[in-house]
Amino acid sequence: MDIKSVYRPVLTSSVQPPRFMRKADYIYLDSAASTPLIIEAKEAMEEYYFDNFANSSSAHAAGRRAKDAIENARAEAADCLNAGSAEIIFTSGASEALNMAIFGYYHLEGSRAAGKNIALSAIEHHASLYPALEMKKYGANVVEIAPESDGAVDCARFEAAAVKAKKLDFVSIMLVNNETGVIQPVAALSEIARRYGACFLCDAVAGFGKVPIDVRALGVDMLALSAHKFYGPKGCGILYIKKGTRINPRTLGGGHEFNLRAGTLNTPAVIGAVAAMKKAVSDFKEREKHCLLLKNYLYKKFEIFKENNIDIRYNSPVDKTVSSTLNLSFKNIEAEKLVEYLSDKGIMISAGSACNAKNGAKASHVIEAMGVPFEYSMGAVRISFGIYNELCDIDILTSAILAMLKK
């Protein structure tokens, strides 16, 4: 079977997959942290490592070929988001894109930030949370909106914060939470934000390929993506900036990216990222069906814990999450110990965001903001599926966790 056909019927739980269908010698259930490079992206990138390697800013024919390839990719990326080509900026990743959006926004820059009102959810990724909090140093008022217990930001609570502030200047709320998979009501929130005069930034890193994204329908002014979250290469991000939104460059030098971001573009990464974008859009229904089957099967298999009197709590409500991500806790079991145990068994899951793993064993700020009791919050882990996962992966995961908890 051709490895390109990743949406084959998922293997039954009693059958091990043939070796050639595996891309690694371990079970990877951490696709929310990163994904492998899909074959279509890899093949698209190969030309730009040698045959068409020229600097896209060079005036000669080879440079123009590279430039044309980037501009074609820019137009295709715009089509995937229902945006205009001139509204797409390529960056080194989502962290740079989010920092650029916040620190580069004209009305928050330097002394202009004094007295401005910024609102964001308390469950934002640190790549947008920390830059927003940094604006306090420049005199901005920053309000964090706590989510409901189900992990979603409530529109009424958000509007109450806007009423109290009287005017909002900038809002940052993610589309899908990276730890719980909870889908946020961004279209409704952005409508409220507009009524109070705010520029709306959306971190859509955990959402692209998992929910349809149309920047016009969402009503956002800026939106950030990261290619390695949807089977593209690491080192490439995308920032959508709605026409008319005033942004100043944060990296000075040449006039790259419409004079907004200096630096020679990583042409292979840009080409691979957009190839992966197009594949994610065209295969959305197949991927959704694949991951939903895996997720439903996990719920079924994990009934064994209740049957063995093991206390388990699901932190991701079924009806509000993407099909590929699930956050759960085992009572009084430290997440770090569970992750380490499974890793030793060749099974990869995560304790919250991969970006926070180095900070040691402590409860996630997302889980804490949701009000999860301490005896569960310290044990919160994230299981996230990808297009190469099989039902037998869940069987092996379940058996390994049960063996650990029975000791």
The amino acid at residue 64 is R
d(CA 198, CA 175): 17
CB-count burial class (<10 Å; 0-12, 13-18, 19+) for 358 = exposed
Question: Taking Cα atoms as reference points, which of 225, 162, 174, 244 lies closest to residue 198?
Answer: 162
Residue at token pair 């310290």: 378
Is the dihedral angle over the CA atoms 385, 326, 381, 344 positive or is it negative?
Answer: negative
- E-assigned strands of 16-87? 27-28
Cβ-Cβ contacts under 8 Å for 192 (sequence gap 6 or more): 155, 158, 159, 162
Q: Which of 80, 199, 202, 355 is catalytic?
A: 355
The DSSP-derived string for 241-286 is: E-TT--B--SS-SS-HHHHTS-S---HHHHHHHHHHHHHHHHTHHH
- Residue 88 three-state SS: strand
For residue 151, the 8-state DSSP code is S
| Phi, then psi, of 270 in degrees rounded to 5 | -60, -45
Residue 199 annotated in active site: no
Tokens linked to 29: 């259930």
d(CA 109, CA 125): 21
Say if CB 269 and CB 316 are below 8 A apart. Answer: no
Say if CB 89 and CB 238 are below 8 A apart. Answer: yes
Is the dihedral angle over the CA atoms 185, 188, 194, 195 positive or is it negative?
Answer: negative
Question: Taking Cα atoms as reference points, which of 347, 316, 60 lies closest to residue 206?
Answer: 316
- Residue 200 three-state SS: strand
d(CA 107, CA 117): 11
| Catalytic annotation, residues | 355
